[in-house]
Amino acid sequence: MAELLKKLQEDMKTAMKSGDKDRLSVIRMLISEIKKVQIDKKKELSDEEIIDVLQRYAKQRKESIKQYREAGREDLAQKEEFELKVVQEFLPQPLSEEEIEKIVDETIAQLGASSMKDMGKVMKAVMEKVKGRADGSTVSGIVKKKLS
């Protein structure tokens, strides 16, 4: 069993014992998302695959927060923010923009990229290096800035 799934299950037990119903609900949802993917793939997921599942869930929360705010539903946006905060506890620490820029610079140098034509190659290489720790749109913005 993956370490991350074990950690989620331990935290679920802790939340049950402490009576933290909101946190318990979010953790149960995460475990159920992971189990659903395991059933679909017919195999146990690695920590990396679990991180992918959690990132998708976090991305959905961010989109929901934005939509609820636009609709003036602050109550629902706050509920989603709480869920997002819990999910982020289980994700690797995100990279700062400076750290991403450094990785982009190194990758551009390694690949000898010089123009926007090389953006696809650079993005692919950078996303492999920052997997799970940086948002694609942030990386894309930095790569565009560096290549233009």
Cα–Cα dist 35/109, whole Å: 41
Fold for 97-147, please state it: Arc Repressor Mutant, subunit A (1.10.10)
Distance between CA 121 and CA 31 in Å, rounded? 35
pLDDT reported for residue 9: 95
Structural fold of domain 3-90: Hypothetical Protein Yqey; Chain: A; domain1 (1.10.1510)
Establish how many alpha carbons lie within 13 A of residue 2's alpha carbon, considering only the half-sphere containing its beta carbon: 17
* Contact between 143 and 126 (Cβ < 8 Å): yes
Fold agreement (3-90, 97-147):
no
The 10s digit of each residue's pLDDT in 59-91 is 999 999 999 999 999 999 999 999 999 999 998
Confidence at residue 6, expressed as pLDDT on a 0 to 100 scale: 94
92-113: per-residue pLDDT in tens? 888 888 899 899 888 888 888 8
- Tell me, what's the pLDDT at 7? 94
What residues does each domain of the chain span?
3-90, 97-147
- The Cα–Cα gap between 59 and 140 comes to 17
Binned at pLDDT 50, 70 and 90, residue 119 comes out as confident
Q: What is the 3-state secondary structure (H, E, C) of 15-34?
A: HHHHCCHHHHHHHHHHHHHH
pTM: 0.74
Q: Which helix (H) or strand (E) holds 48?
A: helix 47-70
Question: Beta-carbon neighbour count of residue 93 at 10 Å?
Answer: 8
How far is 40 from 111, CA to CA, in rounded Å?
Answer: 37
Q: What is the pLDDT of residue 147?
A: 83
